[in-house]
Amino acid sequence: MARFSLVARSFALAAPLAFFLAGACGTVAAPGPEEDGDASVVGDATPPDAARSNDAQIDSSPRLDASDASTDATDAADADADAQVCPVCRYPGAPTSAGTLASAGLVETSGLAASRVHPNVLYAHNDSGDSARIFVVGTNGAAQGVVSVTGAPAVDWEDIAVGKCPSGSCVFVGDIGDNDKVRDDIALVRFAEPALGATTAAADVFPLRYPDGRHNAETLVVDDAGAVYIITKETAGPVSVVAFGVPGAPGTALTGRIVATFVPPTFGIPAVTGGDFFGGPCPRMLVRTYAAILLFEGVLGDGPAELAKRPFRTLQAPPEQQGEAVAFSADGKSIFSASEGTRVALSTWRCGP
């Protein structure tokens, strides 16, 4: 459960200053070594555009049969895919209002994720103290329903994601909050995306184990393969990106491994409170802190581990009292953010040039 410390409360009173600072480019210290001992230096500038290309092969044969034509067409398509220039979205300028999160009962928004099967739909959930349920909302904030999740624990739900699973597309929820670092029962909750109008969903549950002892965490991301990652929440210094892999049989415990570390910017309150991943030819990852929204950008093949080793940009964050929830839209062309609280604003950034 995310609660304000004295420092966090002072940040809420100093929102204008944080708002100004969050518009600046982030400066990132070099991350610590991974388990294999390698270290990657991360700079403080926007990563340059990157492109991949194949060398052209000239065919001097005077004749071209159907098989050759098909092969050449395939090669050309592959070359076009490889020549994708990243990033494709800049999300420039200040965020705008997309609406108000109006669902009754959504009073402590801790996570947001975009549906991959229902257009213009987001899933949200409360912080600790609520039952196992998600709220279905429009990308304009309008309430569209509440889904009770059966068979799932709900000690301290902290983040939500949508990703690949055996049934197609699933909602992943991290019951991973542990402010006092005493829990041995943190877990991943996963269930198929519910139909619109559904009121219940049956969950599979996977116990989670860190490789180096207990951690507090509020950030869960899922890559294109359905593999799960958690980013730890620290009060200072580097945070860890912990990979748990693709869940197997329901009930099977997942033991993580640390695959990257990075240092969030110290705008007074560096704690990491949420995140999201968007794959495809130009992968991107969002990491939310109380004072900033960090955008990591990569190239084809990058997952959360690789992105966390790249430079990041800080987006101009809205002056939210306690910003915790952040998500890409289903097409990656927008970003949504929301604070804890009742009937809070749903902020958005658009793709831009």
Residue 192: pLDDT band (50, 70, 90) is: very high
The answer for residues whose C-beta is within 8 angstroms of residue 237's C-beta and 6 or more apart is 263
344 inside domain: yes
Out of 63-72, 192-201, 241-250, 268-277, pick the least confident.
63-72
Highest mean pLDDT among 3-7, 94-98, 314-318: 94-98
The answer to whether residues 277 and 222 touch, using CB atoms and an 8 Å cutoff, is yes
The answer to whether residues 340 and 158 touch, using CB atoms and an 8 Å cutoff, is no
DSSP letter string, 228-245: EEEEE--SSS-EEEEEEE
Peptide bond into 87 cis (omega under 30): yes
Cα–Cα distance between 220 and 77 in angstroms, integer? 34
Edge-to-edge strands, sheet with 96-100? 96-100, 345-350, 334-339, 323-328
Cα–Cα distance between 117 and 112 in angstroms, integer? 15
In this prediction, residue 53 carries a pLDDT of: 30
In this prediction, residue 82 carries a pLDDT of: 54
Look at residue 78 and tell me whether its pLDDT is greater than 70: no
More confident residue, 286 or 29: 286
93-106 burial, b if ≥16 CB within 10 A, otherwise e? eebeebebbbbeeb
Domain that holds residue 287: 16-49+84-350
Instruction: From residue 307, give the alpha-carbon distance in Å to each of 196, 245, 311.
Output: 33, 16, 8
In this prediction, residue 28 carries a pLDDT of: 36
Residue 186: pLDDT band (50, 70, 90) is: very high
Look at residue 162 and tell me whether its pLDDT is greater than 60: yes
Cα–Cα distance between 103 and 145 in angstroms, integer? 8
Cα–Cα distance between 92 and 305 in angstroms, integer? 25
Can you read off the two tokens belonging to residue 237? 């210094």
Out of 81-95, 169-183, 237-251, pick the least confident.
81-95
In this prediction, residue 68 carries a pLDDT of: 43
Q: Over pLDDT 90: what percentage of the chain?
A: 68
- The string of pLDDT tens digits covering residues 253-305 is 999 999 999 999 877 677 899 999 999 999 999 999 988 899 999 999 999 99
Q: Over pLDDT 70: what percentage of the chain?
A: 76
Q: What average pLDDT score do residues 35-54 get?
A: 33
Residue of 309, 259, 268, 267 lying closest to 285 (CA atoms): 309
75 inside domain: no
Residue 235: pLDDT band (50, 70, 90) is: confident
310 inside domain: yes
In this prediction, residue 16 carries a pLDDT of: 36
Number of domains making up the chain: 1
- The string of pLDDT tens digits covering residues 122-132 is 999 999 999 99
Q: What is the CATH number of the domain that holds 155?
A: 2.115.10
Look at residue 185 and tell me whether its pLDDT is greater than 60: yes
2 inside domain: no
Look at residue 5 and tell me whether its pLDDT is greater than 60: no
Average pLDDT in the chain: 82
Can you read off the two tokens belonging to residue 327? 């998500």
Strand partners, 157: 175
The answer for residues whose C-beta is within 8 angstroms of residue 216's C-beta and 6 or more apart is 177, 178, 179, 181, 232, 233
What are the φ and ψ backbone dihedral angles of 75, each rounded to 5 degrees? -60, -40
Look at residue 3 and tell me whether its pLDDT is greater than 60: no
The answer for residues whose C-beta is within 8 angstroms of residue 1's C-beta and 6 or more apart is 127, 128, 129, 156, 158, 177, 179
224 inside domain: yes
The answer for residues whose C-beta is within 8 angstroms of residue 110's C-beta and 6 or more apart is 2, 125, 126, 127, 157, 158, 159, 218, 274, 324, 325, 340
Which run of H or of E encompasses 82? helix 66-82
54 inside domain: no
pTM of the model: 0.79
241 inside domain: yes
DSSP at 213: B
In this prediction, residue 83 carries a pLDDT of: 67
Out of 80-84, 205-209, 216-220, 284-288, pick the least confident.
80-84
Look at residue 226 and tell me whether its pLDDT is greater than 80: yes
CA atoms within 13 A on the CB side of 70: 3
In this prediction, residue 75 carries a pLDDT of: 52
Which run of H or of E encompasses 306? helix 304-307
